[in-house]
Amino acid sequence: SQQGEEDPQALSIQEGENATMNCSYKTSINNLQWYRQNSGRGLVHLILIRSNEREKHSGRLRVTLDTSKKSSSLLITASRAADTASYFCATDGGTDKLIFGTGTRLQVFP
């Protein structure tokens, strides 16, 4: 069963706009991670936020975590065409592995 569910499933924006993706999960976690996948390629780790953190930044990425609502959001500011990809959240959920959501497909138009 899926631990993380991303929303929306797909998102289209213009270059320069901000993109926000959300992730909801079901069980308590130690950390939540976001990954990017360019079409058909391997996933690339973007950022990790621990359960005792509320917000984290990395370049144009901002991640928030609300453990009371079991949700996280990924904000990409000033999007570029090169940001076009699928984005996945992943949680540990108390298991011996990361469980990935089904992803948000982001299309950034020049």
Q: What Cα–Cα distance (Å) separates residue 81 from each residue in 14, 16, 66, 76, 107?
A: 8, 9, 29, 12, 8
Number of amino acids touching other proteins (CB under 8 A): 23
Q: Does 103 bind other proteins (CB under 8 A)?
A: yes
Stretch (H or E) spanning 66: strand 61-66
Contact at 8 Å (CB) between 104 and 76?
Answer: no
Determine which residue in the list 41, 54, 57, 80 makes contact with other proteins, applying CB under 8 A.
Answer: 41
Dihedral sign for Cα 29, 32, 50, 55, please.
negative
Determine which residue in the list 45, 54, 57, 80 makes contact with other proteins, applying CB under 8 A.
Answer: 45
Residues 70-89 that bind other proteins (CB under 8 A): 88
Instruction: Summarize as ranges the residues that interact with other proteins (CB under 8 A).
Output: 2, 30-31, 33, 35, 40-45, 48, 88, 90, 92, 96-103
